């Protein structure tokens, strides 16, 4: 497996290049900004990008999608509930004093529990809303790897004060869909450093017994 993290843009978002060495195929997860830098990193891996996957459609996770579709001509996939967020991107950007530019369109939807093939690797989509509508995490069981998007971070959880956010729903998503994975699962979040499920179960202050902070 090839797994490379690039931290991009003003929001320091983690874009992941994930691929299967044997077949030479790969995917991009959340290309949020700095399309040229991402494309260069892809070139260095030698992978052929066959799809772009989105954990969710917040501006910091999708900023480089349009440019990279031009580069790879590949489909962009996300949960259907991400569509409404995509449509709001230009307005969202303006509110932050930014200009979004071309809004990418989804070529297909990813369902909860859907299995996505990346060469010989299989990614399983885990529907984990709460931080954003239609949020997905991607689980690579064979490698013990989870791409957690903005649901779960090292020592923290996603914010729930943005449109469509829901604190109770986020805690349910984390407890019922993510903390049930093996403790040794390595978690690669949408921001910040990697961690493990076991670490977060034991030490994440938002997930402690009775921890109803959110
Ligand atoms: Zn987000
Ligand atoms: Zn984010």
Q: Report the distance separating Cα 124 and Cα 116, nearest Å.
A: 6
Partners of 15 in the β-ladder: 6
Identify which ligand lies nearest to the alpha carbon of 162. Answer: 1
Cα–Cα distance list, 186 to 43, 119, 149, 183, 202 (Å): 25, 21, 13, 8, 14
How many CB atoms sit inside 10 A of residue 115's CB? 12
Indicate the burial class of 169 (C-beta count within 10 angstroms; 0-12, 13-18, 19 or more).
Answer: middle
Identify which ligand lies nearest to the alpha carbon of 30. Answer: 2
Predicted pLDDT of residue 210: 55
Choose among 75, 11, 79, 67: nearest CA to 49: 75
Q: Report the distance separating Cα 148 and Cα 145, nearest Å.
A: 9
The two tokens of residue 128 are 């984990």
Using the mean position of ligand 2's atoms as its centre, give its distance from the Cα of residue 149 in Å.
Answer: 7
Using the mean position of ligand 1's atoms as its centre, give its distance from the Cα of residue 58 in Å.
Answer: 5
Predicted pLDDT of residue 66: 96
Identify which ligand lies nearest to the alpha carbon of 33. Answer: 2
Q: Is 202 helix (H, G, I), strand (E, B) or coil?
A: helix
Using the mean position of ligand 2's atoms as its centre, give its distance from the Cα of residue 116 in Å.
Answer: 22
Identify which ligand lies nearest to the alpha carbon of 61. Answer: 2
Using the mean position of ligand 2's atoms as its centre, give its distance from the Cα of residue 22 in Å.
Answer: 31
The two tokens of residue 41 are 């990193």
Where along the chain do its domains lie? 2-207
CA gyration radius, the chain: 16
Identify which ligand lies nearest to the alpha carbon of 14. Answer: 2
Give the CATH number of domain 2-207: 3.60.15.10
Partners of 26 in the β-ladder: 19, 49
Q: Report the distance separating Cα 177 and Cα 185, nearest Å.
A: 13
Predicted pLDDT of residue 96: 85
Identify which ligand lies nearest to the alpha carbon of 189. Answer: 2
Using the mean position of ligand 2's atoms as its centre, give its distance from the Cα of residue 23 in Å.
Answer: 30
* Digitized pLDDT (tens) for each residue of the chain, 214 residues in all: 999 999 999 999 999 999 999 999 999 999 999 999 999 999 999 999 999 999 999 999 999 999 999 999 999 999 999 999 999 999 988 988 888 888 999 999 999 999 999 999 999 999 999 999 999 999 999 999 999 999 999 999 999 999 899 999 999 999 999 999 999 999 999 999 999 999 999 999 999 865 544 4
């Amino acid at each position: 497996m090839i797994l490379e993290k690039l931290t991009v843009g003003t929001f320091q978002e983690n874009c992941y290049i994930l691929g299967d060495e044997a077949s030479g195929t790969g995917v991009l997860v959340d290309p949020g900004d700095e399309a040229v830098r991402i494309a260069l990193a892809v070139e260095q891996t030698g992978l052929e990008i066959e799809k772009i996957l989105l954990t969710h459609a917040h501006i910091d996770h999708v900023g480089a999608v349009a440019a990279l579709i031009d580069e790879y001509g590949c489909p962009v996939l996300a949960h259907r509930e991400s569509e409404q967020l995509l449509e709001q991107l230009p307005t969202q950007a303006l509110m932050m004093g930014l200009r979004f530019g071309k809004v990418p369109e989804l070529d297909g939807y990813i369902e909860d529990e859907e299995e996505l093939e990346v060469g010989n690797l299989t990614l399983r989509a885990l529907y984990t809303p709460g931080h954003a509508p239609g949020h997905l995490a991607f689980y690579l069981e064979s490698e013990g790897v989870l791409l957690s998007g903005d649901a779960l971070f090292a020592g923290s959880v996603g914010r729930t004060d943005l449109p469509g956010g829901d604190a109770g729903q986020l805690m349910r998503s984390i407890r019922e869909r993510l903390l049930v994975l093996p403790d040794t699962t390595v978690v690669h979040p949408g921001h910040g450093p990697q961690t493990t499920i076991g670490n977060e179960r034991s030490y994440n202050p938002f997930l402690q017994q009775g921890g109803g902070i959110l």
